[in-house]
Amino acid sequence: MSAENDDPLLAAEGWLAEGRKAALATVVKTWGSSPRPAGSRLAVRDDGAFVGSVSGGCVEGAVIEVAQAAIADGKTRVLEFGVSDEQAWSVGLACGGRVEIFVEPVG
């Protein structure tokens, strides 16, 4: 596995060098339970290919969609996703949490 295959920053750099467009998503803040810590990154290419992770599941899919929109219009976004403690308990999780993710087009 090359570094580009697992490092979001190197992947984005490589894509830009190839003339592709890209966006970076970065976890900037978490509260409670969160799958990834602050500083985690996800690089998204204009065709939807991605490297890295900022959460998982449906949150990751939503971030990829927003990243593609950021690539298209050149605007940054701040996203927040969360689950209350009550919602978490109802599906068998010990506690809820929230995550804030900054999405920026690069290049």
For the chain, give every domain's residue range.
3-106
Q: Half-sphere exposure of residue 14, counting CA atoms within 13 Å on the CB side? A: 15
What is the distance between the alpha carbons of residues 48 and 67, in angstroms, rounded to a whole number? 9
Query: pLDDT tens digits for 13-55?
Result: 999 999 999 999 999 998 877 788 999 999 999 999 999 999 8
Q: What is the CA radius of gyration of the chain?
A: 15
Pair 52, 83: CB distance under 8 Å:
no
Query: pLDDT tens digits for 57-103?
Result: 788 899 999 999 999 999 999 999 876 655 544 544 445 678 899 99
Predicted TM-score (pTM) of this structure = 0.85
